[in-house]
Structure 1
Amino acid sequence: MKAYANRHPGQAKGAPRPWRMLGVTGAWGLCFLAIRLGLQDAPILWFATLRALFAAAALLMVCQIQGRGLPRGRGTWTLIALMGFTNVTVAFAAMFAGTAGMTIGAAAVLANAQPLMIILPAWWLYGESLSSRTVLAVSIGFAGLLAVGLSSGGGSGAGLSLLAAAAVTAGTLLARSLAGTDLVAASAWHFLIGGVLLAVMAAIAEPAPVIHWTPRFLGSLLFLSLVGTAAAFLVWFIEAGRSRLDLLTAWTMLVPVIGTVVSLFLPAEQPPPFTLAGAALVLVSLWMVHHRPGSRTAGTKDSDASGTTQR
């Protein structure tokens, strides 16, 4: 993978498009509320399975209408299968279970620790610079995550939310290697593969499921599947193929902000002050990663220590 980055020094060195990322992070922030609402009518793993399979069906329909072919090559299919396992099977199962076990705000913060987790792999695999400022930011961020985890009671909910963040991080790293592949088709098939694996897990862990197809559940499922999954992840993969990973994932700092703000309006979801303090530390750390001294905006040219140039 490092050799791949060296062979393609001009690829994926820019900043993500702001309006696209605002849409993605806004959708993901509201997903935690949709998950909490939907879990009142369906078991955890079956709800996660339906999210993945509905998203796959929507994207496969787009492929059919637009005449998009199947991805080609054993290596491409291996990559898509790995993404399905990490980004869908593991991430969705852990995210839904984590959200069921803690407040929306805490789950949103912990499940979106991706910007902190991706910095070292991005440096090692793709040669993206790692400065002392970044190291300090990561340290502050992990202190914030620890505060959120402890204030939420720790335990399985916090651990599962962090596992979801790690799985999405792995999926983002894998997505960087999809250059030259039809991303609509690849996204569709990775959701289908991951959803089928989730269905197997659900059949074992949650046999004879009872799902109440209420308007509340249908609304939550359709939002999660079409907006928060099919559309949002497709845009995310497109931006992962052209952007610095630290600048890309720093945008997800808005996800826990939205999740925490939403939780303030729900009677049973009021986060304790320690959670808010931890969330603030996470946001400070992510701002430090995203804001580079000497650069007016994330989109201006900025030469880093490795000699690469952002645009």
Structure 2
Amino acid sequence: MQMNERASKLPFAPLLLIAPFFLWGTAMVAMKQVIPHTTPLFMAGVRLVPAGVLILIATAFMGRPQPKSWAAWLWIALFALVDGTLFQGFLAEGLVRTGAGLGSVMIDSQPLAVALMSLWLFQEHIGLWGWLGLALGVTGISLIGLPDELILSLFSSSTPYSPLSTPYSLLESGEWLMLLAALSMAVGTVLIRYVCRYADPVSATGWHMIIGGLPLWGISFFSESQQWQNLVVSDWMALLYATVFGSAIAYGLFFYFASSGSLTSLSSLTFLTPVFALLFGNLLLNEVLSPVQWVGVCLTLVSIYLINQRDTLARTNQKVAVAEQNNTHSERSLPEASGKKLNPVSLSIRKSEPEIMP
């Protein structure tokens, strides 16, 4: 991905670019043990409000400017509503009603929406390689998240797989909530471009997490119960990790990079989130990856390469096409005699023969 000049000068810039998606993936692993012991909206608020406070404390030490104008606060409020309240609310409620695999596929398909909006709003070039990479990415996360029986049934003539007999039933799960969460995240990724015209992107990220998280706690207070009574020490440690690393650091870095550079390339790295979640689930929770999931991991990595190198690949193809065109043109321009090409061997022999004087 092409980073802006300011971001590219940061130490370990490539690692920092991947860090948000690594932290989101590992935070998902940490949250697996917490979800059965708490309520969704309370957990969503915990991931936002304390993280926003931490970001604002960091901006004070860094000397970053705070929002001042009415335009800045209006854009931050809209940013908070879409990427804070709506995204985290839809995501938390959707995870309760949706299988984890299908939910991951839906939420991590948002790079497609980001690419379309970036093409429309900012005229970002996607090209053939970019669209191919996006298609491979969606295919990869589908192989990772969807049940193997469903994938294999597409290539088998046996009894077709029926989602209505499993937890993935459209009648009982919250797929539409996950789609709304993915769309909210995509819109939030695009909104940061407008927010940073009036406010510092890191400060705006902190404020939007606080403003967006407070309504979630308010709704939780009136509609949920037993939010924290069943949490044990390990649950609080997992919440602490998800708040500090999976929210404060991850969102701060993500929206810092999203404030400039290619949104399509940055959002494509979201495909890494389920990959990290699977790998660390395998290491820490002894979850075993199936062969279908390993194929999905490989396709996901290939898709990220294609999207982030799409301009380089396009220039390479263009150079090859120009070279082939030049070779074809030079072959057609060779001198011809009597409608036939002259033999270069005979030309050299004739040139070496002595001239006969009359």
Do the two structures share a fold, i.e. TM-score over 0.5? yes
Alignment of 1:1-311 (within 5 A): 17-65=13-61, 70-101=66-97, 104=100, 106-144=102-140, 148-149=145-146, 151=150, 153=168, 155=170, 156-177=173-194, 178-179=196-197, 181-207=199-225, 209-265=227-283, 281-292=299-310, 294=312
- Deviation for aligned residue 1:257: 0.7
User: 1:156-200 CA deviation, whole Å, 9 max, x = no partner?
Assistant: 354433332222111110011213522332122101111112123
Partners in 2 of 1:243 and 1:234 — Cα distance?
16
TM value normalised by structure 2: 0.69
TM-score normalised by the chain length of structure 1:
0.78
CA distance 1:267–1:294, shift in 2 (3 Å): closer
Q: How many Å separate the matches in 2 of 1:268 and 1:98? A: 25
Identity %: 26
In 2: Cα distance, 1:209 partner to 1:92 partner? 16
Q: Does the 8 Å CA contact 2:272/2:300 hold for their aligned counterparts?
A: no
Change (3 A) 1:36 1:208: closer
1:291–1:67 Cα change, 3 Å? closer
User: Where do 5+ consecutive residues of structure 1 fail to align?
Assistant: 1-10, 305-311
Whether the aligned pair in 1 keeps the contact of 2:16 and 2:253 (CA below 8 Å) is: yes
2:272 aligns to what SS in structure 1? helix
Match of 2:310, SS?
coil
RMSD after superposition: 3.5
Q: Please tell me the residue identity of whatever aligns with 1:71.
A: P
SS, match of residue 37 in structure 1: coil
- Looking at structure 1, the residues matched to 108 and 288 of structure 2 have their Cα atoms a distance apart, in angstroms, of 19
Which sections of structure 2, spanning at least 5 residues, go unmatched? 151-166, 319-358
Contact 2:202 2:255 in 1 (8 A): no
The range that moved more, 62-71 or 49-58, is: 62-71
Letter of the 2:25 counterpart: G
Deviation at 1:63, TM superposition (A): 4.5
Q: 1 CA distance for matches of 2:64 and 2:76?
A: 16
The 8 Å contact of residues 123 and 130 in structure 1, kept in 2 or not, is answered as yes
Task: Mark the CA change 1:288 to 1:154 in structure 2 (over 3 Å): closer, same or farther.
Answer: farther
**For the structure 1 residues 160 and 277, does the alpha-carbon distance in structure 2 shift closer, same or farther, using more than 3 Å as the test?**
farther
